[in-house]
Amino acid sequence: MDDIQVMICDDSALMRNLIQRIVDGTDGMSVCATAMNGKFALQKLETVKPDIIVLDIEMPEMNGVQFLEERKKRNIKTPVLILSSIATKGAAVTMQCLELGASDFITKPSGSTSSTITSVSGTIIEKISSYGGRFARLNGKQIPPTETFIQQAKLREAEADAAKKGIIDKIKPAHEAAPSTVLPPTLFATRKKEPDVITPIAEPGPIEIVALGISTGGPNALREVFAAIDPKFSKPILVVQHMPAGFTKEFAASLDRICPLAVKEAEDGDNIHPGQIYIAPGDYHIAVEKSTLCNVIRLNQQDPRNGHRPSADVLFESVAKIYKNRALGIIMTGMGRDGAAQLAEMRRQGAWTLGQDEDSSIVYGMPRVAWELGAVQKQVSLENMASEMSRIVRENGK
């Protein structure tokens, strides 16, 4: 097996060190280079070939935005993971980075100490293994399945929690960890099974709404889908994209700039209008409520579902209840199983359903589980998703 090679670009020596400890402490990935700004990163890219770049935004001489602009000019394909501030200004710049080709972002915790970085280490490992692992595989490397990295992160988090509670004395350095903590890649090999069979209780009816769930790989996937959607698309689209609070408003605005339909961050009580796209706010579940004149959006902060808030399962559950067989459910790239069970319920009610295929998914987790449950009628590539959903709505609208 090969390692995922990581370049870290941040002007803070402390931050570089903390992230390097997380990366080098994870079996199957290692740091191949560090840089204190974009200028030095470009110089090092002439001699090293990372599978992913972890990039800070605010740096002297050449900041993250300038680096991405230069990366685009030089046609550098290495995926970039942004380290972002949670502040409003940071959210706007982060969306600018996505528009310039960054794959995704991680919110940099305030303080940047060992304990605060540990709080996001699982997210760092998940996204490095997802984007960096896919890029490495496309370039011929033998990389363990993403699930092996996630399992390691969970084990480390469990150790940290146990150490904090005094159950164990301290966390061992990664190189001293017991062999049993690193699970064999074969344990998490992608399962291949025939999907379960769901017999709908009704034939699909005329589509009145589209519900879409997506996670890791979602920001750029949604940009591609919504930029290519039919301008005459006549049904509302409700979207759950797993994203932290403070970013979804800017994310919706960035999509609105490239989409022929109106895109906004959903607000509680919004009337659901045809031909509009509503993005669930970070840290809020989104659901549909039936109303006499016009169905409305309801937001809540009930417990996370499948570890997420917003959760695709919450959205799909409400759509299945209100619209039954008069809906289109779509599940796309993402880690885990959020959305799969309730997409199956939508299918049982007679709704139309689509899932992103394995080859075009950054992480074939959510769509795989949905497919295996029998929830997905048809698997579609990212490239064809906009045209397929447009076709289904056009041919089955009312």
Q: Which residues of 49-67 are buried (b: 16+ CB within 10 A; e: fewer)?
A: ebbbbbbbbbbeebbbbbb
**H helix intervals, 58-202:** 64-73, 88-99, 114-118, 121-127, 133-138, 146-164
Contact 218, 363 (CB under 8 A): no
**H helix intervals, 324-375:** 340-349, 366-372
145, 230, 250, 364, 373 from 337: Cα distances, Å: 16, 29, 26, 10, 11
Contact 264, 276 (CB under 8 A): yes
Instruction: Spell out the residues 6+ positions from residue 313 whose beta carbon is closer than 8 angstroms to its own.
Output: 213, 305, 306, 338, 339, 340, 341, 342
Query: Tokens 């900041």 label which residue?
Result: 63
Question: How far is Cα 387 from Cα 367, in angstroms, rounded to an integer?
Answer: 19
Q: Six-digit token pair at 327?
A: 């809906």
Query: Would you call 308 a catalytic residue per the annotation?
Result: no
Which one of the listed residues 3, 242, 308, 360 is annotated catalytic?
242
Closest residue by Cα to residue 337 from 366, 311, 364: 366
Closest residue by Cα to residue 55 from 112, 15, 2: 15
Query: Would you call 285 a catalytic residue per the annotation?
Result: no
Which one of the listed residues 51, 338, 360, 361 is annotated catalytic?
338
Question: How far is Cα 295 from Cα 293, in angstroms, rounded to an integer?
Answer: 7
Query: Would you call 242 a catalytic residue per the annotation?
Result: yes
Which one of the listed residues 215, 318, 360, 361 is annotated catalytic?
215
Closest residue by Cα to residue 54 from 32, 73, 75: 32
Q: Which residues are catalytic?
A: 215, 242, 338
